[in-house]
Amino acid sequence: GQSLEQPSEVTAVEGAIVQINCTYQTSGFYGLSWYQQHDGGAPTFLSYNGLDGLEETGRFSSFLSRSDSYGYLLLQELQMKDSASYFCAPIPGNTPLVFGKGTRLSVIA
C-alpha cells in the first residue's frame, strides 16, 4: 500500500528557518518532489530529489534519505509570501505523483 505523512500545520516567524518533514511508503520509488500551493492557486513545483542528499534552490532546500523513506523541505529566510501549503509527492515508479494532505505553513511577523 501507500502512505504519506507530513505535519498538518506549521507556524514560523518571518526571517526564521522551517523544516517540513515527510515520511512515505510506496510500492516502488523513483524520487520525491515538493510542491507549493497558495490559497486559491494551483500547485507549483519547488524541488526534486532523485538521489539521497540535499538539493538547494535559492532559499529552499530539499533532502532525501531513501533508506529511511524520509525527506524534508527546508525554507530559509522565511517571508510572508511563503505562507502556503506544501506537499511532498513521492513518485512510485514510472507513474504519476502521489500527493498527501500537505502541510499548511503560516509565516507570522
Partner 1 sequence: DTGVSQDPRHKITKRGQNVTFRCDPISEHNRLYWYRQTLGQGPEFLTYFQNEAQLEKSRLLSDRFSAERPKGSFSTLEIQRTEQGDSAMYLCASSLGHRLWEQYFGPGTRLTVT
CB of 109 to partner 1, least distance (A): 25
Asked whether the beta carbons of 72 and 58 are under 8 A apart, the reply is no
CB of 85 to partner 1, least distance (A): 8
CB of 83 to partner 1, least distance (A): 16
Closest listed residue to residue 95, CA positions, set 17, 42, 26, 44: 26
Residues with Cβ within 8 Å of residue 48, at least 6 apart in sequence: 31, 32, 33, 34, 55, 62
Residue among 59 and 101 whose Cβ is closer to partner 1: 101
Q: Which residues bind partner 1 (CB under 8 A)?
A: 30-31, 33, 41-45, 48, 50, 87, 89, 91, 94-102
